[in-house]
Amino acid sequence: MKKLVIVLIILIVLLGLFAGLGTLLTKFNLISQVEQPEKIKVVSEESVTISDVKKVGPSVVTVEEYSQPQSQTSFNFGPFQIFGFNMPQQQQQNQTPQVSSIGSGFVVSLDGLIVTSKHVVADIGAKYDVVTSTGKKFTVQKIYRDPLNDIALLKIDPNENKGTVLTKATLGDSSKLQVGQFVVAIGTALGEFRNTVTTGVISGLGRAVTAGDQFQGYIENLNNVIQTDAAINPGNSGGPLVDSGGNVIGINTAIAQNGQNIGFTLPINIVKDSINNFNKTGQFNRPYFGVTYTTLTQQVALYNDVVQGAYVRSVVSGSPAEKAGIQPGDIIVRFDNQQVSDKNELSGLIGKKKAGDNISIKVWRDGKTTDLNVTLGTAPTQ
């Protein structure tokens, strides 16, 4: 009887030990299951970034502007900055044209078509060069500026540098983006560091911001843009934002001056529409006015003791605006009997018209209003 009791006790102890061991193994297995995905995630994100850079990096270019500095009227702007990179003023004082601004872009066709932001090549009288990721320099032969969007197409001759082979970027679909999606930004940070790579996520969709650069005097309303926390710096403007598949989903356009890691990107579907329009006609067949301007909000107008409207920075020689009598320093307050404001921006009003339309304009000049008429043309090339 005692032997039976001892055997039972031994069996109970053994069963307890086995149960404890099973629980321990189960916990270990669960820990392994929890830890393993984290390790895989880190490796996966790193692999995606490296893959994106290898695929898209060779197509990214630096856009250099050569021009003489011009004096500009300074205004106090809002919180978002459209960004290129302006070279220090002391470098601009020589008689020989120097690099005055640097932006980014990317190749979209092997015959030498490059996409960038329109504000990167806003100076129609300037000379522009494109430098590839390998350091090969090409002269920009023609520039096609989209009057409705912050988009420009640059044309270079691929044969200018013998033996250089261009790499074309793959364009994605920005209609399927989701907040939280992983992205990579590539561009010439600070106008010096080519093919700088930063990573982040899409932190917002469908944003609307009024962006401008007080040094360049350029301001524009940007609608339905992508917000990202991928670090973007001056000089990145015009460069690509890339998804995890190595597809370009947008053009980096603006940053928040008073925030950290808040950047804005023009969706690539807008760019694709512009490219399709260009491929059909050989140009952006859209109405053309012929001024560079700064939109003065009510707050800015009150601060500077002027009227609200579109402050004309410069007038393109031979343009419809020049023929109509528009002068630098004018403030366009009404266009086709509609008030010009930050909510009813001049480029949007022009975009609703057609080439050949005759439009009445009211401008504020030297404290007085003047009525003018303009016949819109078609977008020029350079």
* Arithmetic mean of pLDDT, 69-78: 50
**Annotation marks residue 109 as catalytic:** no
- 254, 283, 312 — which closes off a domain? 283
**Annotation marks residue 111 as catalytic:** no
- What is the per-residue pLDDT for 16? 61
**Annotation marks residue 101 as catalytic:** no
CATH of the domain at 210: 2.40.10.120
- 283, 307, 335 — which closes off a domain? 283
261-314 residue pLDDT tens: 778 888 999 888 888 877 776 766 677 888 888 888 888 888 888 899 999 988
Q: Give 348-352's long-range contacts (Cβ < 8 A, gap of 24+).
A: 348/148, 348/221, 350/147, 350/287, 350/288, 350/289, 350/376, 351/147, 351/148, 351/286, 351/287
Same domain? 331 vs 242: no
Same domain? 129 vs 252: yes
Choose the catalytic residue: 59, 133, 237, 274: 237
Answer whether residue 31 is part of any domain. Answer: no
**pLDDT band per the 50, 70, 90 thresholds, residue 375:** very high
How many domains would you assign to the chain? 2
Answer whether residue 372 is part of any domain. Answer: yes
CATH of the domain at 313: 2.30.42.10
* Top-confidence range, 35-39, 43-47, 350-354: 350-354
Q: Is 5 helix (H, G, I), strand (E, B) or coil?
A: helix
DSSP string, 240-279: EEE-TTS-EEEEEEEEETTSSS-EEEEEHHHHHHHHHHHH
**Which pTM was predicted?**
0.61
320-330 residue pLDDT tens: 999 999 999 99
Choose the catalytic residue: 52, 123, 150, 342: 150
- What range does the domain containing 338 cover? 287-378
Extract the tokens encoding 182.
């992983």
- 283, 304, 336 — which closes off a domain? 283
- What is the per-residue pLDDT for 328? 92
333-347 residue pLDDT tens: 999 999 998 778 887
Answer whether residue 5 is part of any domain. Answer: no
Same domain? 94 vs 183: yes
Cα separation, 209 vs 342, whole angstroms: 10
